[in-house]
Structure 1
Amino acid sequence: MSGNTDSTVRLIAWVQGQVQGVGFRWWTRSRALELGLVGQARNLSDGRVAVTAEGDRAACDRLLELLRGGDTPGRVTSVSEQWAEPSGAFSGFIEA
């Protein structure tokens, strides 16, 4: 990615730990909407939650910080991320 912090980006984060059945996706949706992001949070069959967020780079960075912070529901043990060009496929933020 370029160093332009005003650009629109796509963040894909895989959150590992005790993050299913504890309100984690709802919490993530609330934080994303507060930051003006669109996307989704969905449970994966291996117990992780996949978070896809599109919007301002600084807002995506902040969401990533929040996912890695200690105030999430459940217990996050690790977060891996990937950055990409936004698809524009989302109009809101959903729990999938």
Structure 2
Amino acid sequence: MNEAVRLSAWVHGGVQGVGFRWWTRARALELGLTGHATNAKDGRVHVVAEGPRSVCERLLELLRSGTTPGRVALVVESWEPARGDVTGFEER
């Protein structure tokens, strides 16, 4: 259950221009995850995080918690094995 995984989460709603990527980065760093949060041209934010599955699931819970900046309407997730190609956690 704690194998290294890569979470890809597309966050829909009013999540750009409200500090959402900064908030996500702060939570991911607190959890010890690597990855990035990137604004998409269509208004979504793409969150990619790598680490133990249980920890990535915790980040996903936080993204859906209603405590984020802005308004999250929907989070669409996908999972794959960790690639190990990211260090730190960036806002892009």
- TM (normalized to structure 1)? 0.94
Q: Distance in 1 between matches of 2:11 and 2:66?
A: 13
Match of 1:71, SS state, is coil
| Matching residue within 15, 24, 27 for 2:23 | 27
Q: Distance in 2 between matches of 1:6 and 1:76?
A: 27
Moved over 2 A (4+): none
> Alpha-carbon deviation of 1:35?
0.6
| Matching residue within 27, 37, 40 for 2:36 | 40
Counterpart code for 2:72: V
Q: Distance in 1 between matches of 2:51 and 2:30?
A: 12
1:75 equivalenced with 2:75 (yes/no): no
Cα deviation per residue 1:52-84 (whole Å; 9 max; x = unaligned)?
Answer: 000011110000000001100000000000001
1:49 alignment partner in structure 2: 45
1:61 equivalenced with 2:63 (yes/no): no
How many positions carry a matched residue from both structures? 92
Q: Percent identity at matched positions? A: 63
Match of 1:89, SS state, is coil
RMSD over aligned CA atoms reads 0.5
Q: Distance in 1 between matches of 2:2 and 2:83?
A: 17
| Matching residue within 9, 13, 17 for 2:9 | 13
- TM (normalized to structure 2)? 0.98
Structure 2 unaligned residues grouped into runs of 5+: none
Counterpart code for 1:50: H
